[in-house]
Structure 1
Amino acid sequence: MSQATARTYADIVDLDRYPIDELESDRGRAFVAACREQLRRDGVCNLPGFVTPVAIAEMIRLATKLVSAAHRTDDTHTIYFEPADATVAAAHPRAAQQRSAKQTIACDQIPADAPIRRLYDSDDLTRFIAAVLGKAELHRSADLLDAVMIALFEDGDELGWHFDRSEFAVTVMYQEAERGGDFEYYPGLRSEADPNYATIEKVLHGDGEGAVRLPSGPGSLAIFHGRHALHRVSPVEGARPRINSVLTYSEKPDMRLNALTRGLFYGRTQ
């Protein structure tokens, strides 16, 4: 790691606790191994206090300042983000509707010197995430809107039950809601061979019993396998919004959203 690399994010990450800058050392290798085991065991690698309190405070300040320019969405969708299947009953997982409502601040609205932008631009973080996922190489997104974004969930907002289309997701939590806003998931609820519709239908029309609630205090970084784990952000209540960022990576370089998806997520195509 060069001095120049260190200066870009050394004030953002608790490097004494999480040595992403020395992955080739014995300490770094042990750290990665522990993260990989947690991901294998729990379906998520959750690192509390990964981002420093000073950086978190700055991101909350920025999000509060930028929220007036955020794009609000309030939509219904199936858990697969596909059109409802008209050939099955309304309660079936392929037809049952979920609600998702939030505000989104796009990457190009976040200042380049903001803590999350400086962290995301770090090669050390990219290499760390690739190592935890067992990938030979990962690339940061080339999408000017979606590379790293900020999501705000205010009173009444939520992210409905769903499976991710991507293999993994990387998030950083800044602020928990006053009430609700919990990240809840059922690990391994389906597989490539078994869609497990019967169990999923019970979950969708139940009370969430048996779901794992991810501890996600301010500063937590999470690497989550969401393709086979049904998950949601429960409805938010109260005046304090839930605020977090999603960081986007790909095994292929130069990844961008298509125009349709950009329009849906950000209300614009460029």
Structure 2
Amino acid sequence: MPTADAQALGEGNQAVLVSGKDATGNTVTGAQLLTVDIQPPTLAINTIAQDNIISSAEHNVALVLSGTSNAEAGQTVTLTVNGKSHTATVGSDGTWQVTLPATEVQALAEGNYAVNASVSDRAGNSTSHSANFTVDTSAPVVSVNTVAGDDILNNAEQAVAQIISGQVSGASPGDTVTVKLGTHVLTGIVLADGSWNVALDPAVTRTLDRGANTIFVTVTDAAGNTGAASRAITLVGVSPLITINTVSGDDIISAQKKVRH
């Protein structure tokens, strides 16, 4: 068959029909079914570690890489990560997966990496695909500024709102800052200049014990790494005490007393 004719065959099953005559002049025919398969299989890699970022917690455990392909079940997917090769098998549902051991994940330094994958179908057509991910194991660094100028809140300062503030490095603007004081949880965000602040309402301050209290602050970056800091503050003075005098001498109102009053 000329090359041009072979190239003109469409994808799928094709019938080859032949006919001829034997030495005695009888017509002889034959048929053969062949399949034209020149399309490479599809290959996809699922999101790595849920967000394509490996955090400090994820850096210490095995990593599952998975994806899909329309190559025939049983075909081998070859993956390369950081110079190491792994193989997976396409399942009957078109999925595949391979697990990188924790030792290999721990060997990945901070930075950007690529997963390179390839697969061939039974006809020999091959395809490749890659996906990028980042290793980010550094937790944000958060600090808490002095509260009320000296970390001591007197009665007057407890009666007005106080600003709890600080700085964060290694996080992005908009990341959440969580402040815990006693049983109360306050939230703020990292601002463009790396600062953060929350307002401590007098209603919250009134519920705190006199004496030492600790402010706990945490911030989590996009990779899931959490930084923490704390600061001790002291509440001084006596909480306002409201008293009510005895009513009617004995806290009992009789019918006679009711008439008199």
TM-score tier, shorter chain, comes to under 0.3
**TM-score, normalised by the number of residues in structure 2:** 0.20
Structure with a larger share of its residues in helix: 1
| Structure possessing the higher relative contact order (Cα contacts under 8 Å, 6 or more residues apart) | 1
Greater fraction of residues in strand: 2
Q: Highest Rg: 1 or 2?
A: 2
